[in-house]
Amino acid sequence: MKNDNELVNELYTHNEQAFQELYQKYYWLVFGVVNKKVKNKEVSSEITQDVFLKMWNNISQYQNNSNFRAWLVTIAKNLAIDYVKAQSARQLNLIINNDVVNNIKQFDEKIHMEYQMDLKKILNELEYKVIGLTKIYHLKRREVAEVLNKPLGTILRVHNEASKKINRFFTNKGE
């Protein structure tokens, strides 16, 4: 049986037999590392496949004098962490969508009626939502972009334009 260095050297030439040997040798280690973070066997199995695919596609980045096992475990940890972060972002988005977007009428109740009517007169629907989500719910513009499913650049522009409209309106109203 070949050692890791010999198998890795064969991977540089995309030797499928070397890949199979490394896959069989390290599958359960990688699966265990991933499952420890993900805590879902089906997802862990998919991510484990991704780890080996990434190993295959990025073998040229492996430095032959370093520890192959540690390199593979690092790939596994990083992909598992990326998955967990993505899941957290999706969950946050669902919470925000359910609690904020579906209940945008609560925003209407929180603004004094006079100002609310003024804002609805001077702002279009998107501007009104963006201002409400940033000022009332204190969401970051990046979060508003996720909630409204709009590009961040659009939200930044809309927020800036809406703020200018509000400033002009209330400056003129005060005169």
Mean pLDDT, rounded, of the chain: 85
With a cut of 60, say whether residue 35 has pLDDT above it.
yes
Tell me which residue of 115, 151, 149 sits closest to 132, measured CA to CA. Answer: 115
- What CA–CA distance (Å, rounded) separates 146 from 92? 10
Higher pLDDT, 111 or 13: 13
Stretch 133-162: mean pLDDT = 89
What is the tens place of the pLDDT at every residue in 37-80?
999 999 999 999 999 999 999 998 988 778 999 999 999 999 99
Which amino acid belongs to residue 26?
A: Y
What is the tens place of the pLDDT at every residue in 53-64?
999 999 989 887
Stretch(es) of the chain classified as CATH 1.10.1740.10: 4-85
Q: Which CATH class is domain 4-85?
A: mainly alpha
Distances (CA, A) of 51 to 84, 133, 134, 143, 165: 15, 39, 39, 30, 50
Stretch(es) of the chain classified as CATH 1.10.10: 98-173
pLDDT at 96: 64
Contact indicator for 162, 130 with CB cutoff of 8 Å: yes
Q: Which CATH class is domain 98-173?
A: mainly alpha
